[in-house]
């Protein structure tokens, strides 16, 4: 694994293509070992994690459910621990913790194990960890430890790893032919090969709109429901890094209330992709309406089609035919933009903000 001196968030973004390529190479062995104890009749998976890892799991979930014909529950570890119902029908538990030692994830996994015979898979970057000890099998994310608090590389590694587990499960249960499974892997390979290009195009896009992004007092991203995890992670990253009010809305959420917050200085990002035509028509209608309220309308497109309105504010990226794989590239422009906007604002990401916050949450004994 490549070691970096004084790595930055951008350093890790630039490693995404390499590490995801390594995960693709490791696919046959890694997925086989991780799924070794999962029953052939598997039907219901539970994913327990938190923070950005939770957003990543939500990003992978639509692909997982469709590809492997599974019910996949993605639950925040703290919510599950304190309020969750232990469902005995769960046959596979996936605990995700980059360090393998997150106390909430460990406790949630233990709770899920109490009333079930489910197989537990530990997904982590640290194989020598309590989570791996707790589980029957593990999946190595191959990222090593991200030494900055704002994960980027690990986020996409989790998305791809979960998609891979569902793909292998589908192939093992003959839901896909060998040819179809290999075509899926080829498709993933092409997407991975376009990561560096995506980073560069996002870089150029930032330079084109540097001033407008820097002056923003609020950001919002809007997209199809299948991108819910991406939209939430955009909200998370911009809030943490750019440190101005930011929201990530599915199209349904935005049309049921989010639109009421629109104003003339509002910066909005629309994510366009190949999905149900009625969804994209509705997204276009919302964008057209909002453009009457604010000129700061930006589009990130994975359709390969020229925008209906050539406003020169569309970022054209590699067209992805399967909309459920779009999350692998969709988060990258937001990672890049967050980094550059924060840098231009003079925000020192290596210097912790509110560094006494966590200690103040722990009551003195």
Directed axis angle between helix 153-172 and helix 178-193, to 10°?
Answer: 170
Whether residue 85 has pLDDT greater than 50:
yes
Structure tokens at 223: 């997209």
Asked if residue 256 has pLDDT above 50, the reply is yes
Domain ranges within the chain, ordered by starting residue: 9-193, 196-345
Residue 364 scores a pLDDT above 80? no
Contact 117, 87 (CB under 8 A): no
Q: Is residue 191 exposed (0-12), middle (13-18) or buried (19+ Cβ within 10 Å)?
A: buried
Confidence of residue 2 (pLDDT cuts 50, 70, 90): very low
Give alpha helix (H) positions in the chain.
9-13, 16-34, 51-68, 77-83, 103-114, 130-134, 153-172, 178-193, 195-208, 210-214, 228-237, 251-255, 277-290, 327-345, 357-361
d(CA 76, CA 56): 12
The conformation of residue 310, written as its DSSP 8-state character, comes to: -
Q: Is pLDDT of 3 > 60?
A: no
Instruction: For residues 63-81, give the mean pLDDT.
Output: 98
Cβ burial, residue 244 (10 Å; 0-12/13-18/19+)? middle
Residue 358 pLDDT greater than 90, yes or no: no
Please tell me the predicted confidence (pLDDT) of residue 80: 98
Whether residue 68 is predicted with pLDDT greater than 60 in this model: the reply is yes
Per-residue confidence (pLDDT) for residue 339, from 0 to 100: 97
Better-predicted residue by pLDDT, 332 or 357: 332
- Other C-beta atoms closer than 10 Å to the C-beta of 288 total 12
* pLDDT reading at 1 higher than 50: no
HSE toward the beta carbon, residue 39, CA cutoff 13 A:
14
More confident residue, 148 or 61: 61
pLDDT at 59: 98
- CB of 251 closer than 8 Å to CB of 221: no
pTM for this structure? 0.96
SS3 content of the chain, % helix, strand, coil (to 5): 50, 15, 35
Q: What is the pLDDT of residues 177-215, one digit of tens each?
A: 999 999 999 999 999 999 999 999 999 999 999 999 999
282 pLDDT tier (thresholds 50, 70, 90): very high
Choose the weakest-confidence range: 9-23, 99-113, 194-208, 297-311: 297-311
Q: Does this chain's domain 9-193 share its CATH topology with 196-345? A: yes
> What phi, psi does 246 have (nearest 5°)?
-140, 145
Instruction: Report the share of the chain in percent with pLDDT over 90.
Output: 87
**Which of 20-29, 144-153, 161-170, 199-208 shows the lowest mean pLDDT across its residues?**
144-153
pLDDT band at 308 (very low <50, low <70, confident <90, very high): low
Sign of CA dihedral 7, 10, 13, 15: negative
pLDDT number for residue 4:
53
Asked if 158 contacts 165 with a C-beta cutoff of 8 angstroms, the reply is no
Distance CA 61, CA 217 (A): 32
Contacts of 98 (CB under 8 A, 6+ apart): 53, 124, 125, 126, 141, 143, 145, 146, 151, 154
For domain 196-345, say whether CATH 3.40.50.11810 is its number: no
Residue 93 backbone dihedrals phi, psi, to 5 degrees: -115, 130
pLDDT band for position 241 (cuts 50, 70, 90): very high
Distance of CA 148 to the CA centre of its chain: 17
pLDDT digits (tens, 9 = 90+) for 114-133: 978 899 999 999 999 999 99
Rounded CA separation 49/85 (Å): 16
pLDDT for residue 361: 85
- State yes or no: pLDDT of 310 exceeds 70: no
Average pLDDT over residues 73-90: 96
CATH number of 9-193: 3.40.50.10490
**pLDDT at residue 307 tops 80:** no
């Amino acid at each position: 694994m490549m070691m970096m001196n004084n790595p930055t968030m951008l350093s890790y973004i630039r490693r995404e293509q390499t590490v995801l390529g390594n995960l693709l190479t490791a696919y046959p062995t890694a997925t086989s070992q991780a799924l070794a104890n999962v029953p052939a009749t598997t039907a219901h998976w539970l994913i327990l994690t938190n923070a950005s890892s939770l957003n990543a799991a939500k990003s992978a979930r639509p692909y997982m459910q469709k590809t492997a014909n599974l019910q996949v529950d993605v639950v925040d570890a703290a919510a599950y621990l304190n309020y969750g119902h232990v469902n005995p029908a769960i046959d596979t538990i996936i605990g995700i913790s980059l360090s393998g030692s997150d106390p909430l994830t460990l406790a949630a996994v233990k709770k899920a194990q109490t009333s079930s015979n489910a197989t537990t898979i530990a997904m982590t970057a640290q194989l020598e960890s309590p989570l791996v000890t707790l589980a029957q099998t593990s999946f190595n994310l191959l990222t090593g430890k991200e030494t900055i608090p704002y994960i980027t590389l690990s986020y996409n590694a989790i998305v791809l790893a979960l998609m891979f587990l569902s793909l292998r499960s589908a192939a093992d249960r003959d839901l896909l032919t060998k040819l179809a499974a290999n075509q899926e892997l080829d498709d993933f390979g092409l997407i991975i090969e376009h990561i560096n290009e995506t980073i560069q195009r996002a870089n150029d896009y930032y330079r084109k709109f540097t001033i407008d992004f820097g002056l923003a007092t609020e950001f919002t991203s809007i997209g199809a429901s299948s991108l819910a995890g991406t939209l939430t992670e955009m909200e998370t990253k911009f809030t943490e890094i750019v440190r101005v009010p930011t929201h990530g809305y599915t199209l349904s959420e935005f049309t049921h209330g989010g639109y009421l917050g629109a104003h003339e200085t509002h910066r909005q990002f629309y994510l366009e992709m190949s999905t149900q035509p009625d969804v994209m028509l509705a997204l276009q209608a919302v964008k057209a309406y909002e453009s009457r309220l604010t000129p700061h309308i930006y589009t990130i497109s994975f359709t390969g089609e020229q925008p209906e309105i050539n406003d020169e504010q569309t970022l054209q990226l590699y067209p992805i035919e399967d909309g459920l794989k779009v999350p692998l590239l969709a988060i990258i422009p937001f990672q890049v933009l967050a980094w550059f906007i924060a840098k231009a604002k003079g925000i020192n990401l290596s210097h912790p903000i509110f560094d006494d916050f966590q200690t103040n949450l722990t009551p003195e004994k």
